[in-house]
Amino acid sequence: MESNPVLVSNSKGSVQADIFSGLTVALALVPEAVAFSFVAGVSPMVGLYGAFMMCLITAVLGGRPGMISGATGAMAVVMVNLVLEGNALGGAGSHAGLQYLFFTLLLVGVFQALAGIFRLGKFIRMVPRSVMMGFVNGLAIVIFLSQLKMFQAAEGVWLQGEPLWIMAGLVALTMCILLAVPKIHKKWPGALIAIISVSLLVLFARIDTATVLSFIQSKGGTGIVSGLPTFAFPRVPLTWGTLVFITPYALILAAVGLIESLMTLTLIDELTDTHGSGNRECMAQGLGNFVNGLFGGMGGCAMIGQSIINITSGGRGRLSGIVAAGALLFFILFTSRYIEQVPIAALVGVMFIVVIKTFAWSTFNIMNKIPKWDVIVIVLVTFLTVKYDLAIAVVAGVIISALIFAWNNALRIRARKMVDEHGIKHYQIYGPLFFASTALFLEKFDAQNDPQEVVIDFEESRIMDQSAIEAINKLAETYERSGKSIHLWHLSKDCVRLIRKAEKICVVNILEDPDYFVSIDDFRQYRENLEFEAL
């Protein structure tokens, strides 16, 4: 990505790099999955199972090798209301919200898979570069703010004194190690070495600081309980009311998941100078969420932070995601007590480096070099991503960019006017004719003062939509009321098909290019008459 400062080697990677980067990502997935599970209002194991299944399925079947999927905050924010309303529907103490979440994920999976089947992933091309820059900047800020919460002893209570200095020092040490390791040896997994080094320091020096276990306990959990996810169809009433309740949530979750995944895919494509398949990723995301609904996971989508950790650690192939998923499951089953001892500060330090590498610092350098509207879009998308969520930010950014594009192109419609030796007035139209330019287009003509014969030449123009058709119909009717004739030239075949109404009141005819000719019964006679008049 031209605007992004992440410097990533374009090498195809190696098995060793994929393994080490996968292990690093697995360590980073644990606290993220736990944190997002609490945001969604479900148990930590639901988040961990969701991260494992999403990571494994998308690594094997997804359209972007090296991209990591798991439980995400963007989807967790939507899930929290779903779980709360589901609990209310099930009654006090029923915990039915979790079952409604699982059932919703089945529908999310169907919607996302259909998006891939119908090849809707290609519409990510419609996202402008300014929206992409706002997206990565907003996500960097969101990740940064989420990590600042780790500096709280309790909700709203910030660390002070010695605990604060210990936390800050360990974070700084992690960052220094992570930045220094690549300078010593480029293929060494800096993030993994940093996490292990700081963990050993805390363990042997008996430093009192927050760990993964204490973090889970502070959120009301009891630790990472070992066990495999088991199959169980969601226990919800299979009624029309249930479908009406979950469908809006399913649509929102599917849209948020696909937008974040496809945006992350595009970002990783640009960082690695490779190309992934958006449609394949849509289907893999859908399958991952569907399986989550059947096996008790909270679902998810692509994770920008973990994906960047993976590629900056050397992960390029599917093996990195498979190793991350396998290692995460291994941690859950066999080494949960060791993972629980990893200091939160080490993970925060890794995420801070991700923030630094994710933020498009070049934004500040190009502010005075790009159109002001692009600057506004970048700032707006960044703000909306931080304030609300990714889906709202991207949709708003695309809409505003589209309106700006339409406005700028509307101003490009113009007409060159001339009267030939036969007294026929010619209008040579330049620029696209569409809904935003029709008013300016109609202003170019003077039906009252024009001669009896008028030619409108569309060789350098293009009729784009129904509004353009209606504008031509209106123009033709205006000349007809004035007792004058107009001839439309250089219309492509598809344009001609669009102006059937205009054919009834004016001659649609291309003398210079018969391939564009619309069948008119007296065309030959008309052409002969024009040639005779020219003589």
392-448 tens-digit pLDDT? 888 899 899 989 988 988 888 999 999 988 899 999 999 999 999 999 999 999 999
Cα angle value 207/210/215 (rounded, 5°) = 160
State the chain's maximal CA–CA distance in angstroms.
104
pLDDT at residue 201 in the model: 95
Tell me the C-alpha distance between 229 and 333, whole Å.
Answer: 11
The four Cα atoms 238, 239, 244, 246 give a dihedral, to 10 degrees, of -20
pLDDT at residue 535 in the model: 45
255-312 tens-digit pLDDT? 888 988 998 898 898 888 888 899 999 999 999 999 999 999 999 999 888 898 898 8
Tell me the C-alpha distance between 236 and 102, whole Å.
Answer: 9
Q: Out of 6-15, 254-263, 281-290, 381-390, which region has the weakest mean confidence (pLDDT)?
A: 6-15
Cα first-last separation, the chain? 62
Tell me the C-alpha distance between 117 and 125, whole Å.
Answer: 17
The tokens describing 18, both together, are 């994929």
Mean pLDDT of 343-354: 86
- Report the chain's mean pLDDT, rounded to a whole number: 83
Neighbours of 188 (CB within 10 A): 15
pLDDT at residue 170 in the model: 95
Smallest CA-to-CA distance from 25 within 244, 312, 243 is with 312
Mean pLDDT of 48-74: 92
Predicted confidence band of residue 169 (pLDDT cuts 50, 70, 90): very high
Mean pLDDT of 368-383: 91
Smallest CA-to-CA distance from 75 within 224, 382, 292, 277 is with 292
pLDDT at residue 93 in the model: 65
Q: Are 131 and 398 in contact (CB under 8 A)?
A: yes
| β-sheet bridge partners, residue 416 | 428
Cα angle value 503/509/511 (rounded, 5°) = 175
69-91 tens-digit pLDDT? 998 877 887 888 888 889 888 77
Mean pLDDT of 84-99: 82
C-alpha distances in Å from residue 33, one per residue of 26, 252, 452: 10, 20, 75
Mean pLDDT of 370-389: 89
The tokens describing 402, both together, are 């589209």
Please enumerate in sequence order all residues whose Cβ is within 8 A of that of 374, keeping only pairs 6 or more positions apart, or say none. 128, 129, 130
CATH class of 411-534: alpha beta
C-alpha distances in Å from residue 56, one per residue of 30, 70, 188, 200, 336: 15, 9, 24, 29, 19
The four Cα atoms 467, 469, 475, 480 give a dihedral, to 10 degrees, of -140
Tell me the C-alpha distance between 177 and 175, whole Å.
Answer: 5
Domain ranges of the chain: 15-219+273-358, 411-534
478-535 tens-digit pLDDT? 888 888 888 888 776 666 666 655 555 445 544 444 443 333 333 344 444 544 444 4
Tell me the C-alpha distance between 254 and 251, whole Å.
Answer: 5
3-state secondary structure of 317: coil
Burial class (CB in 10 A: 0-12, 13-18, 19+), 148: exposed
189-248 tens-digit pLDDT? 677 788 889 999 999 999 999 888 887 777 666 777 778 889 999 999 999 999 999 998
3-state secondary structure of 455: strand
Burial class (CB in 10 A: 0-12, 13-18, 19+), 427: buried
Smallest CA-to-CA distance from 64 within 283, 358, 275, 306 is with 275
309-322 tens-digit pLDDT? 898 888 889 999 99
